[in-house]
Amino acid sequence: MKTNPYMTPRDNQVASTMTTPVGDSRQAFIGHNGEVNAGSKAELLQVISALIDRNDPTMTEAEAVSREELAKVHENMVTAAFSSNEQLAAVGGELADELYITANRDGFMRRFLGRQDLSRGNIPSTRMQMKNVVAVVASSASQIETQIVRDNDYYPPEFYITARPYIEQRDIERTASDILEQKYIESLEGIMVQEDRTWKTMANATVGIANGLSNFVGQMTPTNLGTFRNTVTRWGIPARYWLIANDIWTDLLADSGFQAVIDPVSKHELLLSGQLADILGMTIISDAFRHPEHKVLDKGEQYIVGDNINHGQYTDRGGIQSQPIDGTHERVPGRGWMMSETLSMIIANPRSVARGLRV
């Protein structure tokens, strides 16, 4: 995985130098090959849990970059951006590219929904698997609608998702930390996190259309997970993902029955993208390693999501665009960027998703 030039670890310790109790000894979290160190499935589950408890998106030794050196590079980039319109546009373009890479790698929405790329002259179109179904459509990043689709083709509306990372002149003089990293984190909340929150709102709106809300008292077990999974598979739709809040991960450690059916991920780079394990034919996804402001799941929340052929679609028109802005736009001395993307989103089949709460 490429080391992100805008995102630095929250401490300078490299994952391969961190140790955690495993059995009666201590060993490094991550080996030099990028694999999680564990001698058995049970130990691997424990190490993943320890990494989640740290809530620390650490890097492997090969990916590690000195925070001091990286902050200096970013300081020079900001200085150049404040002295040249060309450099301002160039830095904004690089930032937009990194935001797009991260959203495609780590975002829930982009993982769950099928993708359609649009060019000039194209309009969004979704081929419905069945006619006369109730679809859930996003008409904006904050507005969701349900409607009956009576034809095999549907044309969802496009809308904008935006972020405005802006560096005030006084922040350069007063802030000792990495300003560009801060703006990257803010921008991710405006772009990737908003995409995921929009999908979550859409998924919540499907409750009661085909699948009801599943409430679970106490810890999750293989039995009630199987029942929850069947909410989707009973319609003949393969269950592809189990999206969980990170507190539910502890249930997998507490019940020995889970260890017989779970296949935890050992690649550190996959863990950081939110992929924790495979179970019952599903990939377990979580926001466990995200920055606190980037988490979208509340405690106890979980979803079963079908394969994207049966689930829905999003369209992407040209990725994330960056436009320089300055004090004439913001009425505050400084410089920054207007980040925007043009999307459409539709859950075409409410049967393909089920929401659950552990209470």
Do the Cβ atoms of 130 and 351 come closer than 8 Å?
no
Is 7 inside any structural domain?
A: no
40 exposed, middle or buried (CB, 10 Å; 0-12, 13-18, 19+)?
exposed
Alpha-carbon gap, residue 232 to 200, rounded angstroms? 17
Q: Is the pLDDT of residue 16 over 70?
A: no
How confident is the model at residue 263, as a pLDDT?
94
Contact 65, 4 (CB under 8 A): no
SS3 content of the chain, % helix, strand, coil (to 5): 40, 30, 35
Q: Which amino acid is it at 178?
A: D
Q: Is there a domain that residue 2 lies in? A: no
Q: What is the mean pLDDT of residues 19-34?
A: 58
Q: Assess whether pLDDT exceeds 90 at residue 61.
A: no
- Poorest-confidence range of 9-18, 43-52, 226-235? 9-18
Please say whether the beta carbons of 330 and 222 come within 8 A.
no
CA 73 to chain centre: 27
Residue 1 within any structural domain of the chain = no
Distance CA 267, CA 30 (A): 9
Does residue 109 fall inside a structural domain?
Answer: yes
Question: According to the model, what pLDDT value does residue 132 have?
Answer: 76
Q: Is residue 122 part of a domain?
A: yes
pLDDT (0 to 100) of residue 24: 43
- Is the distance from CB of 161 to CB of 326 less than 8 angstroms? no
Q: Let me know if residue 80 belongs to a domain.
A: yes
For tokens 């590219």, the residue is: 97
- Sheet (strand 239-244) strand order: 214-216, 353-358, 301-306, 239-244, 282-286, 275-279, 262-264
Half-sphere exposure for 256 (CA within 13 Å, toward CB): 0
Per-residue pLDDT reduced to its tens digit, 325-349: 998 888 899 999 999 999 999 999 9
Please give the residue that has the higher pLDDT: either 23 or 280.
280
Q: What is the mean pLDDT of residues 52-68?
A: 58
Distance of alpha carbon 223 from alpha carbon 345, whole angstroms: 33
Report how many domains make up the chain.
Answer: 1
Per-residue confidence band for 99, with pLDDT thresholds at 50, 70 and 90: very high
Backbone angles phi, psi at 317, to 5 degrees: -105, 85
CATH of the domain at 229: 3.90.1690
Helix (H, G, I), strand (E, B) or coil at 122: coil
Q: What is the mean pLDDT of residues 254-258?
A: 87
Question: Which of 64, 85, 63, 65 lies closest to 73 in space, CA to CA?
Answer: 65
The kind and range of the H/E element at 188 are helix 179-190
Tell me the two tokens of residue 247: 């507190």
Average pLDDT of the chain, as a whole number = 86
Q: Is residue 53 part of a domain?
A: yes
Non-local CB neighbours of 42 within 8 Å, separated by 6+ positions? 259
Which range marks the domain in which residue 101 is found? 15-358
Bridge partners of residue 314, in order along the sequence? 115, 345
**Has residue 149 been placed in a domain?**
yes
Instruction: Please choose, from the candidates 88, 11, 4, the residue with its C-alpha nearest in 3D space to the C-alpha of residue 56.
Output: 11
Q: Which of 296, 81, 317, 91 is nearest to 184 (CA)?
A: 91
Q: How far is CA 23 from the centre of its chain?
A: 32
DSSP secondary structure string, 251-282?
A: HHHH-HHHHTTEEE--BHHHHHTTEEEEETTE
Enumerate helices (H) and strands (E) in the chain, giving the number of each. Answer: 13, 19
Place of tokens 């980037």: 294
The pLDDT assigned to 28 comes to 66
Out of 55-59, 65-69, 235-239, 250-254, pick the least confident. 55-59
* Angle, alpha carbons 167-195-129 (nearest 5°): 160
With 0.85 as the threshold, say if the pTM is over it. Answer: yes
Q: How many CB atoms lie within 10 A of CB 49?
A: 19
- The confidence score (pLDDT) of residue 67 equals 64
CA dihedral of residues 44, 45, 48, 49 (deg, nearest 10): -140
